[in-house]
Each structure stands twice: as structure tokens, then as C-alpha cells.
Amino acid sequence: MKTKMDRRSFIKGAVATSAVAAVGAALAGCSSQESSEESFASTIEWARETEVLVIGFGGGGSVAAVTAAEEGAQVLILEKDPTGEGGGSSRLSGGNFMYTKQGCVEAGVSHLMKIMGNTTSEEAIRAYMEEGEKQLDWMDDHDMAYCLIPVDSTATFVDVEGSEAFQCATICYEDNPINDEGGHVFYEWACKTVADLGIEVVFDAAATRLIQDPVTKEILGVTAVISGEEQNVRAKKAVVLATGGFSANEEMVANYLIPAPMKTVASRYATGDAIKMLHRVGADFWHMNTYNMHKYGFFNPEDEMVRSDITIASDGGAFIFIDQAGKRWVDESTFASGNAGHYSNYAFMTSPDFTQSAVNYGHTPFYCIFDESKRLLNPIYHNTAHGADRPAWTNLDPWSEDNSEEVSKGWIFKADTIPGLVDAINADCSSYGFQIDPAVVENTVTQYNAACAEGVDSEFGRPAHVTFSGAGYGDGADPSFKDRDLNGDSNNLVPIECGPFYAIRLAPVLYTTNGAAKKNGKSQVLDVDGNVIPRLYTAGVDGSITGLVYSIGGQNWGDVLNWGRISGRNAAAEKIAE
């Protein structure tokens, strides 16, 4: 573990900086651009003003704010969350961040240009990789503990040239390097650091519109609804957008992403606010169809929570997935395992069976069917969640060890026969606009059981055996289950035959979207003609460079840390507009 407790001071005298900026503003006062900007700004009724205005107190926003303040700028953060918690989706994550191996910038640029298929500019990728070389020094300088991940490369596609450039570490508590709470550790740091730097954070402040000079196209500030009141907030240097993408906006997800519908484990406030504001000022966009998945999970309408760490496929047993046509379509045990979970959307993108009763996307939502032996084998959801000490609205009740409580709650459907189980499924899926033929499901189960008898899944290649890692059956379970499912050579091809039978609705789970405004290497937003929109920057996933596929361990945190620093530095360096 690497940590450094002596913090270097990057604070540059705010008084001196303000004085220099004031002189610069006075000298520039005769220019037609400044005059126009000043004239238009004077027509706006400003409720508040600052130098650098950051929209969003998540990972990217907090790093941008801290960096701008350390460069001597006055900083104000507007955060949409009305609870006073903040932290965004970053707070809910495990805190794995990328960094560039020293001397490997060129290799990393080459690698990402190949992976992203030219969906992101070389200038932006190079800035990302160069800033990544500074990652560990910055963490040390800011007293943030981390644990290095001891692998040769954390790139997904290690056979593509340049993969050796990418390394990964995990934010952690100094006395506990092995944990899944990095996002919360970071948020604690952010709260303390912005307070130490005197940065004001205004909660219950939803930015709705960028205020743009119609002549110079400069961004002067934002209109925001603050505690129910619409106010105009002036940014005399720049605005940094870091609102966290659009994972929680179901309409935008359905329009931009495949498959749909999906459920999200991201912050409920990640509703695409920046995208909408950027559209209004003429920004151009890239990779709006790219995102980071969190495999698949169960959505409970009662508490509006998504349980994404569904482990039903990890330990084998008697289960299958069926789509809206009542058929299997994939090897259930491996399609969303390991790093493939980041882009397991491809498993949902095979040609669906469009029928008269299933006219929406054919593989989501889908249903897992299993029998009594599988119910008793292990909890199908393990109570592991990114950021253990998360905001109150993400707390989840424990899942029962034998799944019985979830059956009682009606989350898991139960029936004595497969046709009876399909009746329960159809009562549930009617709200999604489709029905499943019981005869088709019976045939699907029969075919799967026949593959189990042969020990070979010739249709989808599901392996016969998996390494069992769970706790296994309790003392009351049938001993034959233990011999078959824990020790057997075919513990992953187990027939569905021990009634009663069960089903649970599942859907692909979205973590973060990576669609963003086009930007240059300074994190300045570009318009549709490739010109800089003055005084406008992005950070976090609002400034993501990820195109086509999420391909690096800690890639989103690279957007948080790298673009947070880049945008903060450059925003602070802008001349004050008087």
C-alpha cells in the first residue's frame, strides 16, 4: 500500500491571482468581445457569483473544484442532491482507478486509438494518458491511500499493442487496503478537502441551463433551481460540468443505448442534465452509445433499488435464463463474468425472436428459472455492494441465505409445475407488453435437461463443471444435492427437475454512461464546427473519452481524476470576465 501523509501545498495566493486577473480584465476592457460579453452579462440578474462554477459534487466535480481552488480560483459547487449527501456515482463505486505506467504514454495512446476505433480524438486520448502518468504523485500529494493491483496490465484486450501502458490501483483506508469501499473513502476525502479549501457546496441545486453570450458564445454562468427557487449563478472564469451522465434517465437510456430497458446502480441524480444543457449551447457529442455495465440484476419496485451482484450463475446448479420468447439464448454461466461484465451488453444483442406477444427487445427483461435444489444451494444475491457505507437511499436489506424470504415477498415466483410458473411470470411481464407461451418454456426446460443428461450443452456451450466457491447447502438439504452440485463433474449442467420451481425477473444493469460532449486536450467543450465554446469544461463521465467499449480497469476513475485536474487547472487559468 502506498500513502503519504505530508501534503504538499499547491495553494497559490488568491489575493495575488485576483490582482493579476483584475489588471488583465482592465487592459482587455476595450476589446469588442469583452465589451459585448460585459454588456450582455449586465442584463442578467445574478443571485450569486464565483470565479469557477462546478456543477456536480461527485468524483469529477470534486477533483475539478479542488484543483481550481489550489490554483488560486474562487470556487462554488452546485449539487443536485437535496439530502446534503452528494458523492454521485463515484461514491458508490469500489474506487479502482487507472494510471499510466511511466514512460508508456505513446503506447497507451496507440492502444486506445485502436480500441476506440477513432471515436475519440488523439489529442484528448494523449491528454488523458499524460495526466495518468501523474496519478500516483497526485494521490500521494493529497494524502489518499491506495493499494496497487499487482498485474502486468489492467487493459481488457491485453493482446492489442500498447496494453502494457495501463495499471490500476484501488483507493482504500490506510489501515485496510483490501476493501470495496474506495468510492466512499474518496468522498470522505472530498468533503474534508473542499471544506479545508473554503469551497462552498450548495445542495438541492439543480442546474438547468447554461447562460451564453449570444455574440461571443462565452459561457457566463448557469440557471439553477436552488431549494425550489430559480436563480442565475455567475461564473466569472468558467463553468465545469460534472453531473454524472444519464444512467438514471430511462428515456435517454432507451433512446441512446442497447439493450433497453436497463436498470442502473448509478446515482439516481445522474439524469443527463449536462447533456441537455450542452445541446442548448451547440456542443457536439461523441460515443453516446457507450457505457459501462454492471452485469445483470434484480429491480425491486417497492424500494426502487437494483441488486446488481446477482450470483445465481457463479456456482452452477439447476437453472436457466429464458428471454421473452421463452427460450435460452446464451451460456448462462459465463456471459457476464469477470471483466466481460463491463460490456456484457453484447450478450443481449443477438437477434431477438420478435413474435406477436414479444414485440420489444427480446432479451430484457429476462427470467431465471430454477428448482428447489438451486434455491437451497446459495443466496442468489450476495450482499456485496460498492461503497459499503453508502447514502441512506442505497441501503439494502440483507438477502436470505436460502432465498426463502424473497419468495415470501413475491420477488421470486414459485409454482409446483413449469406451466404454473409461467403463469406467474406472465402476470409479472404483462406490464412490459409481452406474454410467454408455457409450452415453449416446457420445451426449453426439456431440451436443457436432455443436455444435462448428455453432459454437453451443444447449443450454447455451457461448461459442465464450475469451481464451487459458495457456502453450499445447509444441514437440512437433501444429501444427494450435495454430492451432485458440490462434488459432481457436471455441477454446472444440473437438470431442473426438483419441484417446486422458481423464477425471478432480471435485467441488464447499467453503471455509467460515457456519452459526452466532444472536447479537446484542455477539456474544453467543442461545438459542432469543432470550435471551442469559451469558458466551458467537462469532467468525470460528462467528459469521458471512452468510445465503443469500456476497456481499461479503472477507466471511469481516469475520467474523474485526469479530467478533473485538467479542467480545474484550465478553468482557473481563464481571465476574469468583468
Q: What is the pLDDT of residues 525-574, one digit of tens each?
A: 999 999 999 999 999 999 899 888 888 888 999 999 999 999 999 999 99
**Over 80: is that where the pLDDT of 426 sits?**
yes
Higher pLDDT, 25 or 145: 145
DSSP 3-state helix, strand, coil percentages of the chain (rounded to 5)? 35, 20, 45
| DSSP three-state, residue 13 | coil
CA–CA separation, 162 vs 62, rounded Å?
31
Higher pLDDT, 214 or 296: 214
Distances (CA, A) of 576 to 237, 346, 503, 573: 5, 48, 61, 9
Lowest mean pLDDT among 356-360, 371-375, 384-388, 471-475: 384-388
| DSSP three-state, residue 153 | coil
Burial of 527 (0-12, 13-18, 19+ CB in 10 A): middle
- Report the relative pairing of strands 413-415 and 305-307 from DSSP bridges: unpaired
CA–CA separation, 305 vs 399, rounded Å?
13
Residue holding cell 449442467?
493
- HSE-up (13 A, CA, CB side) for residue 153: 18
| DSSP three-state, residue 501 | strand
**What average pLDDT score do residues 3-19 get?**
36
**Residue 317, by phi and psi: left (phi above 0), alpha (psi -120 to 50) or beta?**
left
| DSSP three-state, residue 106 | helix
pLDDT-derived band of residue 22, with 50, 70 and 90 as boundaries? very low
| DSSP three-state, residue 370 | strand
Task: Please state whether the peptide bond connecting residue 379 to the residue before it is cis, i.e. omega within 30 degrees of 0.
Answer: no
pLDDT-derived band of residue 407, with 50, 70 and 90 as boundaries? very high
Q: How many CB atoms lie within 10 A of CB 196?
A: 12
Q: Which three cell numbers stand for residue 18?
A: 485576483
pLDDT of residue 486: 55
Higher pLDDT, 316 or 8: 316
Residues 50/75, Cβ–Cβ less than 8 Å: yes
Distances (CA, A) of 164 to 74, 112, 335, 481, 529: 40, 12, 26, 45, 35
Q: Could you tell me which of 297, 201, 215, 271 has the C-alpha nearest to residue 510? A: 297
pLDDT of residue 461: 93
% pLDDT > 90, the chain: 56
**Over 90: is that where the pLDDT of 438 sits?**
yes
| DSSP three-state, residue 49 | strand
CA–CA separation, 208 vs 241, rounded Å?
12
Q: How many CB atoms lie within 10 A of CB 398?
A: 9
Task: Note the pLDDT tens digit of each residue in 52-75.
Answer: 999 999 999 999 999 999 999 999
Residues 387/180, Cβ–Cβ less than 8 Å: yes
Distances (CA, A) of 255 to 281, 289, 495: 21, 9, 39
Task: Note the pLDDT tens digit of each residue in 326-349.
Answer: 999 889 887 654 444 455 555 665
85's enclosing H/E stretch is: none
CA–CA separation, 190 vs 20, rounded Å?
29
Q: Which three cell numbers stand for residue 445?
A: 426446460
Q: Could you tell me which of 518, 507, 563 has the C-alpha nearest to residue 540? A: 563
DSSP states of 267-327: -TT-S-HHHHHHHHTTB-EE-TT-EEEEEEEEEETTTTEEE--B-TTTT--SEEEE-TTS-
pTM recorded for the entire structure: 0.85
Distances (CA, A) of 249 to 109, 240, 267, 487, 557: 32, 21, 11, 45, 21
**Over 70: is that where the pLDDT of 428 sits?**
yes
**Over 60: is that where the pLDDT of 30 sits?**
no
**What average pLDDT score do residues 204-221 get?**
97
pLDDT of residue 571: 98
CA–CA separation, 210 vs 235, rounded Å?
10
pLDDT of residue 217: 96
DSSP states of 460-475: T---S-----S----T
pLDDT of residue 316: 84
**Over 90: is that where the pLDDT of 21 sits?**
no
pLDDT mean across residues, the chain? 84
pLDDT-derived band of residue 473, with 50, 70 and 90 as boundaries? low
pLDDT of residue 334: 73
pLDDT of residue 454: 93
pLDDT of residue 557: 93
DSSP state at residue 2:
B
CA–CA separation, 221 vs 28, rounded Å?
20
Task: Note the pLDDT tens digit of each residue in 80-128.
Answer: 999 888 889 888 888 889 999 999 999 999 999 999 888 999 999 999 9
pLDDT of residue 391: 43
Q: Report CA Rg, the chain.
A: 26
**Over 90: is that where the pLDDT of 390 sits?**
no
Angle between helices 122-132 and 555-573 (to 10 degrees): 100
66's enclosing H/E stretch is: helix 59-70
Task: Note the pLDDT tens digit of each residue in 513-534.
Answer: 999 899 999 999 999 999 999 9
Q: Which three cell numbers stand for residue 306?
A: 437494483
